[in-house]
Amino acid sequence: MLTSHPAEASSATRLVARVGAALVVSVVSLSSAYAETVVDLSCLAAAKSLSCVAQMATGGDPYIRVVPQALGEAQNAQLAARERKWMARCHPVTERDNYGVARYHYAARGCEYGLGADQ
């Protein structure tokens, strides 16, 4: 009959994990005393281990993305002409392979890398 009674070791491990987490939190809190600094601390304690990860970032909305300025008419015309030239040289065609995955095939070398319009 196999039995395991790690209750004492488990409670000691939990105590060590809590103390370790408290130390990590205090160090992170002291280092994040700067204005508009956000700290995310995540700790995971198992039977004989403790793992903590702290991520620091500046405050504000993390979902704000910088959108490039709109292209002018001249740039739009230039890009359209380049794309027409690429299409005329490369002639992209999609074909399904044996597994049903669509694969692109091109008439000229380098087209799979976007090359061809300026050559």
**In angstroms, how far is CA 34 from the centroid of its own chain?**
26
Report the greatest alpha carbon distance in the chain: 83
Amino acid (1-letter code) at residue 107: A
Whole-structure pTM value: 0.39
Per-residue pLDDT tens digits for 16-49: 666 666 665 565 555 545 556 777 888 888 887 8
Grouping H, G, I as helix, E, B as strand and the rest as coil, residue 59 is coil
Domain limits, the chain: 7-58, 73-113
Per-residue pLDDT tens digits for 40-95: 888 888 887 888 888 777 767 667 777 788 788 999 999 899 999 999 999 999 99
**Opening angle at CA 53, ends 48 and 55, nearest 5:** 175
